[in-house]
C-alpha cells in the first residue's frame, strides 16, 4: 500500500517537469559580479565572494549537483551534514513556498531519511543506524510514518521484512532520487528571481521600445510633412464686389440718411454713371 501511494505521488511530481532549473543562468551572473568587483577594485570583497562560491550549498542552483551532494552525505553516512543541507534549503527556500507544496515536501524529507537508513544497512554500518535513532527519536517518535521503523536496528535481514522490503528495492530508490531532482527543479522555477537575473530581458524590452518609438516618430514626421503640403495649397478667395458689404449693412441713422443710401445703392446697382459731372443733364446753348 505504501509503495503504491509513493509511486503515485512520485509520478505526479516527476510528470510536472523534467526541464533544467530556470535559474541555471545565474551562474553567468556570478561571473558578471566577479568582473564588476574586479573592475571596481573591490579585491577584499572579491576574495570573500570567491570563498563563498567554493562552499556554496546551492551548487550554483544546479539541481543535479545538489542531488549528488545529498547522495555523498548518504553514502558516507554523514547524518549531520545531510541534515544541515536539508535545513539550509528548508530555511532558504522551502519555508517560503505555498501550502500546495507542503505534502510533497513532507514525503520527500521522510523518504530522504529512510533512504539514509537503507544505505547505512546496505553498507553494513549498524552503528550509524543506532546513531540515527539516538539523535532523532525525540523528533520522530510521534510521527506515524516512523512508527514501525524503530524496530529496524533489531531486524536481522530488514530487506526481507514486509515493512522495509520495498525501500531496499532499486525501483524505490531510483524513484525517490528522480522525485527529489524534479521537485527541486520545480521549486527553482516558481521562486522569485533577483532583479539582476532579468537585466538582459529588460534590456531587450528597452531596445524594442526604443525601436518602436523611433518608428512612430518617423511616421509622425511623414504625416506632418503631408499636412504641410495640403495647407500650402490654399483655395482661391471668391471675388466679391466691395460695395456688396455696404448693401448688406443695417442703417444706423435716420430715415433721410436711409433713403439717400438706398438711392445710392440703387444707382450703383443700376450700372448708371456715378460721376457728378457725368450725371448732369446737358443744357442746350440755344436756351441760354
- Cα–Cα distances in angstroms (integers) from residue 41 to residues 33, 35, 213, in the given order: 12, 10, 38
Name the one residue in this structure whose C-alpha cell is 549537483: 65
pLDDT of 121 reads 96
pLDDT of 208 reads 81
pLDDT of 1 reads 42
pLDDT of 234 reads 55
pLDDT of 248 reads 56
pLDDT averaged per 10 residues, the chain (length 288): 45 41 63 86 86 67 86 96 92 81 88 97 96 95 93 93 95 94 83 71 75 83 71 57 53 55 54 50 49
pLDDT of 10 reads 45
pLDDT of 8 reads 46
Residues 136-180 pLDDT 10s? 999 999 999 999 999 999 999 999 999 999 999 999 999 999 999
Amino acid at each position: 500500500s505504501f509503495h503504491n501511494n509513493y509511486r503515485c505521488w512520485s509520478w505526479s511530481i516527476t510528470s510536472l517537469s523534467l526541464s533544467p532549473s530556470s535559474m541555471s543562468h545565474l551562474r553567468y551572473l556570478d561571473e558578471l559580479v566577479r568582473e564588476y568587483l574586479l573592475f571596481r577594485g573591490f579585491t577584499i570583497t572579491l576574495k570573500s565572494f570567491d570563498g563563498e562560491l567554493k562552499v556554496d550549498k546551492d551548487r550554483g542552483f544546479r539541481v543535479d549537483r545538489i542531488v549528488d551532494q545529498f547522495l555523498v552525505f548518504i553514502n558516507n553516512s554523514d547524518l549531520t551534514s545531510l541534515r544541515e543541507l536539508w535545513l539550509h534549503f528548508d530555511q532558504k527556500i522551502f519555508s517560503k513556498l505555498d501550502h500546495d507544496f507542503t505534502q510533497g515536501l513532507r514525503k520527500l524529507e521522510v523518504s530522504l531519511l529512510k533512504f539514509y537508513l537503507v544505505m547505512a544497512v546496505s553498507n553494513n554500518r549498524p552503528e550509524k543506524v543506532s546513531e540515527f535513532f539516538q539523535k532523532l527519536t525525540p523528533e520522530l517518535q510521534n510521527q506515524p510514518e516512523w512508527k514501525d521503523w524503530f524496530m529496524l536496528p533489531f531486524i536481522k535481514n530488514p530487506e526481507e521484512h514486509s515493512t522495509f522490503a520495498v525501500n531496499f528495492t532499486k525501483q524505490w530508490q531510483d524513484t525517490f532520487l528522480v522525485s527529489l531532482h524534479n521537485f527541486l527543479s520545480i521549486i527553482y522555477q516558481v521562486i522569485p528571481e533577483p532583479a539582476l537575473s532579468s537585466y538582459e530581458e529588460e534590456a531587450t524590452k528597452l531596445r524594442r521600445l526604443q525601436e518602436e518609438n523611433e518608428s512612430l516618430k518617423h511616421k509622425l514626421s511623414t504625416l506632418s510633412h503631408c499636412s504641410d503640403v495640403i495647407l500650402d495649397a490654399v483655395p482661391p478667395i471668391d471675388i466679391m464686389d466691395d460695395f456688396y458689404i455696404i448693401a448688406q449693412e443695417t442703417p444706423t441713422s435716420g430715415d433721410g440718411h436711409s433713403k439717400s443710401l438706398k438711392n445710392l445703392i440703387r444707382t450703383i446697382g443700376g450700372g448708371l454713371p456715378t460721376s457728378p459731372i457725368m450725371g448732369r443733364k446737358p443744357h442746350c446753348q440755344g436756351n441760354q
